[in-house]
């Protein structure tokens, strides 16, 4: 057993209701210090609401929350200097320049003038904003804004960093670059909690929680999640895959069937002991190939599946 | 604490200097309002066409007619032989009013001017025949009843009886604009100060800045103070514009000390700003903030003494008026600008504004929660 000090975040039964809507429903989390932890889930599954509770912005309807050893709600102000938060929507000032925004943040966190100058230059270089320091934040591209927001959120070198869908407006190349920065921060000891709906991002996390409708469907490392998945994955190749797909999804044992190029990726429940034998008569002689599950398969299995194309 | 407050002040100033719309409003609202109230809603009537029936035809009567003409309220355009002719002219609409001077004018004038305190036998020296169909004209001429006769007699005339009677203090030309400008100061400052700050917190909330800001160590009081401080400067710019233009365009005299006026304005600006802040912590959207501002603005215009004399209002309205910063400021501003009073003499109003500011800052800081729910 790990001691509780080794966890940056621990929750038991964390819930938040908006009227009759259970935006977050009894979520248990144990996030070790020094790791990158992901919240993976579709729109409206409660990622932002969870992060807001963990940053002390929203009070939970019920449940216990412990962040960096402090109990929430109650010690929000004490935690302010120890955590950083990059909001889903760009929350710096669009009509201030890059440097003005960073100077403002530095002063709010009480950095001495000289230290602030040094830190701002360091961040400008680190996040590739050096040439743009006089540009208005509002006129920057999605990727630049996101780097600026990350610079602002890490200004005071927080122990724990929350990133709410940081890469939603970023191209794949910049996304990879961004993750390199996250691993740099992580290697310096920062714990990072990041929410996303991209599989490739989720796959990079040390640990992961899959959320749906406010409920945690699964958690663990990506590898572990894929190994423990409750379904077989079979790829079928051949003609007229659309018809086959419509026939297959009507079967109770088929969790999902999704076309990927010229193949149909079929998830068959583990309740079926021999999936290839079970599928053979149904695919009518088309080619079958059992494959390793991907994180997307895990996601589809966890979230009930069939609604996904 | 001061660092963070200053950081917010500088941030606000930078944003303000880039916000052309708001910047334009700071300058244009006072100018436009001043023009509107100064020129368009000028209730002073000037150059009314008028006639004379002069039965005495003496140097006294000619001097009297001249003195009346000099007020510019009426412009004499016709002479009539008797009252009947004059009445006919009014009926035809040739003139709005006729000044009727009786044959014994000289005697009346002498009696009027030598009348002692005990002498109540004197009678009016002349008579105005007025077209009563226009109440504004009638009211204007009625005001002329009280014209002093000093100039006509060439020496001071103690006034006992409506002759052309009473002396008007502080506004001898009877121009309402002189009275309006200090009042406008109150109305315009209420409008802009409450408007700007009432949007201050809500805007950050709507634009999403608040979610980041409240995860930082900034304290509610620092945020409130930092939000209003830049607008004190804006308020003073507006005071300058209003008084400067008022002085240039409408010859509004500034009798009182500038230091007294600045102090009164400072107190009022702060009170209005905190009122806006309180609104800002209640409103959920900028639209709501705007509506609440209007809710405060209307009574400030109607009840503060700007439109109707405070003394003439029913006690319920007076009671509401006392709660509005604008009422207290208008009282102070008129006293300072028109009567050369000093803030020390207006201690009660000054203290009230100060108290209002402290209370407003406290309420808004307490109401502002660093939570999203
Ligand atoms: N303040 C609120 N009042 C009422 N309902 C809310 C509120 N905030 C969130 N919700 C609801 O709670 C649910 C979860 O919202 P949340 O913002 O946490 O989703 P999310 O996982 O962040 O989604 P996305 O990927 O779109 O950002 C949604 O159904 C949302 O409509
Ligand atoms: Mg979200």
Contact of B53 with B44, CB cutoff 8 Å: no
Q: Quick one: which of B373, B343, B59 has its CA closest to A53?
A: B373
Domain stops at, among B169, B204, B231:
B169
Q: Quick one: which of B250, B64, B248 has its CA closest to B175?
A: B250
Q: Do B105 and B197 reside in the same domain of the chain?
A: no
State phi, psi for A96 to the nearest 5 degrees.
Answer: -115, 155
Structural domain contains residue B8: no
A27 forms beta bridges with: A14
Structural domain contains residue B333: yes
Res. B74 pLDDT band, cuts 50 70 90: confident
Beta carbons within 10 angstroms of residue A69's beta carbon: 13
- The length of chain B in residues reads 373
- From the CA of A43, how far away is ligand 1's center (Å)? 8
Closest in B207, B213, B373 to A59, CB measured: B373
Structural domain contains residue B233: yes
Q: Do B216 and B262 reside in the same domain of the chain?
A: yes
Q: Do B165 and B249 reside in the same domain of the chain?
A: no
Q: Do B263 and B361 reside in the same domain of the chain?
A: yes
Question: What's the CA gap between A36 and A13, in Å, rounded?
Answer: 22
pLDDT at B334 over 80: no
pLDDT at B17 over 60: yes
User: Do β-strands B97-101 and A231-237 pair in parallel, antiparallel, or remain unpaired?
Assistant: unpaired
Interchain pair A80, B216: CB under 8 A:
yes
State phi, psi for B321 to the nearest 5 degrees.
Answer: -60, -40
pLDDT tens sequence across A247-259:
888 888 888 888 8
Instruction: Tell me the two tokens of residue A269.
Output: 């429940």
Q: Do B217 and B82 reside in the same domain of the chain?
A: no
H or E segment and range at residue B130: strand B127-130
Domain stops at, among B169, B188, B212:
B169
pLDDT at A1 over 90: no
Structural domains of chain A, ranges and CATH numbers in brackets: 32-57+77-223 (3.40.50.300), 229-303 (3.30.70.920)
Structural domain contains residue B280: yes
Domain stops at, among B151, B169, B187:
B169
Q: Do B157 and B185 reside in the same domain of the chain?
A: no
Q: Do B201 and B278 reside in the same domain of the chain?
A: yes
Contact of B51 with B89, CB cutoff 8 Å: yes
Q: Quick one: which of B308, B304, B307, B335 has its CA closest to B320?
A: B304
Instruction: Tell me the two tokens of residue A243.
Output: 């018809």
Number of Cβ pairs < 8 A linking chain A and chain B: 76
Structural domain contains residue B26: no
Q: ipTM greater than 0.90, yes or no?
A: no
- From the CA of B122, how far away is ligand 2's center (Å)? 89
pTM here is 0.77
H or E segment and range at residue A145: helix A142-153
Question: If you average pLDDT over residues A196-201, what whole number do you get?
Answer: 88
pLDDT at B233 over 80: yes
Question: What's the CA gap between B210 and B216, in Å, rounded?
Answer: 10
Q: Do B184 and B91 reside in the same domain of the chain?
A: no
Containing domain of residue B110, as a range? 48-169
Question: If you average pLDDT over residues B172-199, what whole number do you get?
Answer: 74
Which three-class secondary structure state does DSSP give residue B53?
strand
Structural domain contains residue B316: yes
Contact of B291 with B373, CB cutoff 8 Å: no
Instruction: Tell me the two tokens of residue B266.
Output: 């400072």
**Closest residue to atom 31 of ligand 1, CA basis:** A44
Structural domain contains residue B328: yes
Number of domains in chain B: 2
Res. B113 pLDDT band, cuts 50 70 90: low
Q: Do B164 and B181 reside in the same domain of the chain?
A: no
Name the average pLDDT for chain B. Answer: 78
Q: Do B219 and B276 reside in the same domain of the chain?
A: yes
Question: B368 to each of B220, B224, B271, how far by Cα in Å?
Answer: 6, 9, 18
Question: If you average pLDDT over residues B1-17, what whole number do you get?
Answer: 88
Q: Do B128 and B179 reside in the same domain of the chain?
A: no
Structural domain contains residue B337: yes
pLDDT at B168 over 50: no
Q: Do B102 and B188 reside in the same domain of the chain?
A: no
Query: What pLDDT is attached to residue A67?
Result: 92
Backbone φ/ψ region at B263: left (φ over 0), alpha (ψ -120 to 50), beta: alpha
Q: CA-CA-CA-CA torsion for B168, B172, B173, B177, nearest 10 degrees?
A: -90
Closest in A57, A100, A108 to B217, CB measured: A108
Which three-class secondary structure state does DSSP give residue A65?
strand
Q: For position B164, which CATH number holds?
A: 3.40.1710.10
Which residues contact ligand 1 via a Cβ below 6 A? A 18, 21, 23, 41, 43-49, 88
Question: What's the CA gap between A209 and A195, in Å, rounded?
Answer: 9
């Amino acid at each position: 057993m790990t001691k509780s000090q080794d966890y940056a975040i621990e929750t038991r039964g964390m819930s938040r209701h908006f009227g009759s809507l259970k935006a977050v429903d009894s979520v248990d989390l144990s996030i070790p210090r020094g790791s990158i932890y992901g919240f993976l889930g579709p729109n409206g599954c409660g990622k932002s609401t969870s992060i807001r509770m963990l940053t002390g912005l929203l009070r939970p309807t019920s449940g216990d929350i412990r962040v960096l050893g402090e109990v929430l709600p109650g010690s929000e102000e004490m935690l302010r200097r120890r955590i950083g938060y990059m909001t889903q929507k760009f929350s710096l000032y669009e009509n201030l320049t890059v440097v003005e925004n960073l100077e403002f943040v530095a002063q709010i966190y009480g950095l001495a003038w000289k230290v602030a100058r040094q830190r701002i230059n360091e961040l400008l270089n680190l996040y590739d904003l050096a040439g743009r320091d006089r540009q208005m934040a509002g006129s920057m591209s999605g990727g630049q804004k996101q780097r600026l927001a990350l610079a602002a959120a890490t200004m005071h070198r927080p122990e724990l960093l929350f990133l709410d869908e940081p890469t939603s407006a970023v191209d794949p190349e910049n996304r990879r670059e961004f993750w390199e920065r996250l691993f740099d921060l992580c290697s310096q000891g920062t714990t990072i909690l990041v929410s996303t709906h991209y599989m490739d991002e989720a796959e990079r996390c040390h640990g992961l929680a899959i959320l749906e409708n406010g409920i945690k469907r699964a958690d663990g490392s990506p590898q572990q999640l894929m190994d423990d998945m409750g379904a077989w994955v079979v790829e079928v190749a051949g003609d007229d895959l659309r018809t086959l797909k419509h026939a297959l999804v009507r079967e109770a044992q088929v969790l999902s069937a999704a076309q990927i190029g010229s193949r149909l990726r079929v998830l068959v429940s583990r309740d079926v002991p021999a999936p290839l034998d079970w599928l053979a008569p149904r695919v009518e002689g088309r080619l079958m190939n059992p494959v390793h599950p991907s994180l997307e398969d895990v996601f589809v299995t966890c979230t009930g599946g069939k609604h996904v194309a | 604490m001061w660092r963070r407050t200053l950081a917010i002040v500088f941030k606000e100033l930078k944003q303000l200097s880039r916000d052309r719309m708001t910047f334009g409003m700071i300058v244009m609202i006072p100018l436009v309002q001043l023009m509107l109230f100064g020129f368009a809603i000028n209730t002073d009537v000037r150059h009314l066409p008028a006639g004379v029936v002069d039965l005495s035809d003496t140097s006294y009567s000619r001097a009297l007619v001249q003195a009346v003409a000099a007020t510019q309220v009426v412009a004499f355009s016709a002479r009539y032989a008797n009252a009947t002719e004059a009445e006919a002219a009014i009926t035809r609409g040739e003139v709005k009013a006729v000044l009727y001077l009786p044959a014994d004018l000289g005697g009346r004038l002498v009696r009027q001017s030598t009348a002692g305190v005990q002498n109540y036998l004197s009678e009016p020296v002349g008579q105005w025949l007025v077209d009563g169909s226009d109440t504004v004209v009638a009211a204007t001429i009625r005001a002329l009843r009280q014209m002093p006769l000093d100039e006509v007699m060439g020496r001071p005339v103690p006034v006992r009886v409506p002759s052309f009677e009473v002396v008007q203090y502080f506004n001898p030309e009877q121009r309402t604009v002189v009275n309006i400008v200090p009042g406008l100061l109150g109305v315009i400052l209420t409008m802009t100060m409450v408007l700007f700050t009432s949007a201050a917190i809500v805007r950050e909330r709507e634009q999403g800045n608040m979610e980041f800001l409240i995860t930082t160590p900034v304290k509610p009081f620092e945020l409130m103070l930092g939000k209003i401080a830049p607008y004190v400067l804006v308020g003073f710019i507006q005071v300058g514009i209003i008084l400067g233009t008022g002085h240039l365009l409408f010859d509004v005299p500034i009798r009182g000390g500038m230091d007294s006026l600045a102090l009164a304005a400072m107190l009022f600006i702060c009170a209005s700003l905190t009122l806006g802040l309180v609104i800002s912590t209640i409103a959920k959207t900028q639209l709501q903030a705007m509506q609440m501002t209007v809710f405060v603005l209307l009574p400030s215009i109607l009840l503060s003494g700007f439109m109707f004399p405070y003394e003439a209002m029913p006690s319920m309205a007076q009671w509401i008026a006392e709660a509005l910063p604008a009422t207290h400021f208008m009282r102070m501003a008129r006293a300072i600008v028109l009567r050369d009073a000093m803030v020390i003499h207006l201690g009660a109003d000054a203290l009230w504004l100060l108290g209002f500011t402290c209370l407003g800052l406290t309420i808004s800081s307490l109401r502002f929660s660093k939570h999203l729910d």
